[in-house]
Amino acid sequence: MDCVDVSGMAGKGEQKMNLLRSFINANIKLSKWFDRQFLPSYFVKDGNKDFIFEMAPSYLRQGIKYMMSGEGSSLLWISTKKAIYA
């Protein structure tokens, strides 16, 4: 069986993917810029981040930086049983 050098083909494929990735990233940046320029702040507030970094810690009262990245906790429920409220 003849051997076929696929390294060049793989390189081209990777190049195309990188190009596509750059195109997508540029569009994402443009979308963010548009929001910042033309919309009030409440339109651009990220709910997920607000929940994790602001809402949840504020209800714990003691300033925990509450991280829920989704890794290992993407379907997470937490019930804290001890009295952490006054």
Partner 1 sequence: MDINKKGDLCLTVVGIDISQSELDRAPVGAYDETICADIANVHGLADGDLVLCQAVLEHVQDTEGAMRSIASLLKPGGKALIFVPSRNAVFARLNILLPENIKRKLLYAVYPSARAAQGFPSFYHKCTPDDFIAMAKQNGLANVESRYYYISSYFSFLFPVYLVWRIWTVLFKFIAGHQAAETFSMVLVKEA
Residues that bind partner 1 (CB under 8 A): 24, 27-28, 30-32, 34-35, 39, 42-48, 50-52, 55-56, 59-60, 62, 64-85
Identify the burial level of 57 via C-beta atoms within 10 angstroms of its C-beta, where 0-12 means exposed, 13-18 middle and 19 or more buried. middle
For the CB of residue 6, give the shortest distance to partner 1 in the complex, in Å.
22
For the CB of residue 15, give the shortest distance to partner 1 in the complex, in Å.
17
For the CB of residue 17, give the shortest distance to partner 1 in the complex, in Å.
10
28-53 residues labelled b (16+ CB within 10 A) or e (exposed): eeeeeeeeeeeeeeeeeeeeeeeebe
Q: Output 8 or 72, the one with its CB closest to partner 1.
A: 72
